[in-house]
Amino acid sequence: MTEADSPEALLGRLRAGVDCDATDPATQRLFEAWAARDHWCARSEALPLLVGVAPAAWTGHLARHGLADAEQALWPVLARGLSLDAAADQSIEPRRLRTWVQDAGLRLPAALARLLDFISSVLPKAAEGGDTVAADEVLRAQERETILGAALMLVTRQAAECVDEEGRYDSARIARLIRARALLWFPLAPPSLSEADMEALIARWVEHGGRR
């Protein structure tokens, strides 16, 4: 394999016209929708997201920049890394792509990396090889994921309301905002977590977060 055929080089080619460091609201909304999903189709969804392109715009992106050959070269590499059949478009969990990217020395688009890191750092992981998880734990995990999604939306779109006097994300303020606007995210019933529990959940990410 030549340097031009390396995964890093192919990924760089596929990112023609893509700003992988973008964290603006539009980019954040794109990745929020996908990060909340349990599974992605590896070739038609995970690969475009790795590049930083919305899956719906992927075909047009390849055609516009003449990148069909780069996609055809990178896809088998990704498929091997994920132990997938390159002839199929199998379903994978987002964390598998994240792990492969890290192992391969590549990087995800900044907005997607932040979302996946945030979610994986605060949501409980199901036991490896476990076939079932208790229904109440699933519901609790879904509620936590909704709260974290709400927190992400607030810190992205209304950052000034989510920080303290020193410019650091304030988990208490974020929790209060979520509780005050709970109907936006919990239209059928109020969340079971108290404001204090929400604050503790959000604080686990805030401890890793920096300043605005």
Q: What is the pLDDT of residues 104-146, one digit of tens each?
A: 999 999 888 887 877 666 554 444 444 444 455 666 777 888 8
- Alpha-carbon distance of 67 to 16, in angstroms, equals 9
Of 65, 82, 111, which residue constitutes the final position of a domain? 111
Amino acid at 1: M
- For residue 121, being part of any structural domain is answered with no
At residue 65, the pLDDT reads 96
21, 104: one domain: yes
SS3 of 158, please?
coil
- For residue 212, being part of any structural domain is answered with no
**Structural domains of the chain, count:** 2
92 in Cβ contact with 82 (< 8 Å): yes
- For residue 117, being part of any structural domain is answered with no
- For residue 116, being part of any structural domain is answered with no
CA-to-CA dists, residue 77 to 7, 18, 28, 83, angstroms? 7, 21, 27, 10
Of 111, 143, 161, which residue constitutes the final position of a domain? 111
Q: What is the pLDDT of residues 60-111, one digit of tens each?
A: 999 999 999 999 999 999 999 999 999 999 999 998 999 999 899 999 998 8
pTM: 0.63
Parent domain of 52: 3-111
- For residue 136, being part of any structural domain is answered with yes
**Structure token digits, residue 36:** 């909340």
- Alpha-carbon distance of 108 to 16, in angstroms, equals 15
